[in-house]
């Protein structure tokens, strides 16, 4: 039996290519790109449709008055009534679904107990993200979609709609439904309809603006 040994020159190229393939920077970039959902993937995931998306959007807009780079995560009951909501500004400099997932999960843990002990989810989480640009899908949207889906799984919630709010209006991505009002900078319509009415207590992080709305609703 004989054993062959490759010369040092013969093994130098595979070693170089392996080093490039498994470099930390390239590996992180590959994972980051994987933590993005395309619109077709989102539609195929069976995300439940909102019965009255404009009512939900208008209610969240009135409560939180989001500005660009602000995310509003809301939890709805089976009748599409708002159980809790929270808003926060995007602080991450990178577009990464894992980072967005952690931010969403932290907010959900603050506003509502998890439902991990249930066999099937009872509550549904939706995400409204206010940003610059038009209503067309972006890689940032895909990262928020990935983050929302994963955060819902970890908190025992059903993953619901992802909605963008831009200067063009609002758009439920993956569904093709949207409207011109509310939009970035538009005046809020105070708590329209019953699905997002004032009878539901919510936790808000909108600062002084939310306090003004709360006092106005109490009158």
113 phi, psi to nearest 5 deg = -65, 155
Q: Whole-prediction pTM value?
A: 0.74
Q: Report pLDDT digits (tens) over 40-82.
A: 899 888 899 999 999 999 999 999 999 999 999 999 999 999 9
Q: Report pLDDT digits (tens) over 175-199.
A: 889 999 999 989 887 654 434 443 3
Closest CA to 149 of 101, 109, 113: 101
């Amino acid at each position: 039996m004989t054993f062959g040994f490759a010369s040092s020159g013969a093994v130098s190229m595979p070693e170089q290519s392996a080093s490039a393939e498994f470099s930390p920077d390239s590996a992180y970039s590959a994972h980051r790109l994987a933590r993005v959902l395309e619109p077709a993937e989102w539609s195929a995931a069976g995300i439940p449709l909102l019965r009255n998306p404009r009512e939900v959007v208008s209610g969240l807009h009135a409560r939180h008055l989001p500005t660009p780079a602000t995310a509003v995560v809301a939890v709805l009951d089976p009748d599409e009534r708002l159980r809790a909501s929270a808003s926060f500004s995007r602080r991450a400099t990178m577009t990464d679904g894992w980072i967005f997932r952690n931010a969403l999960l932290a907010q959900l843990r603050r506003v509502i107990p998890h439902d991990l002990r249930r066999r099937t989810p009872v509550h549904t989480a939706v995400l409204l993200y206010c940003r610059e640009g038009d209503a067309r899908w972006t890689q940032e949207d895909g990262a928020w979609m990935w983050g929302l889906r994963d955060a819902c799984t970890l908190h025992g919630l059903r993953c619901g709609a992802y909605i963008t709010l831009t200067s063009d209006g609002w758009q439920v991505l993956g569904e093709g439904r949207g409207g011109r009002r509310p939009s970035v900078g538009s005046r809020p319509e105070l708590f329209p309809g019953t699905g997002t009415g004032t009878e539901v207590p919510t936790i808000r992080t909108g600062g002084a603006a939310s306090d003004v709305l709360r006092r106005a609703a109490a009158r």
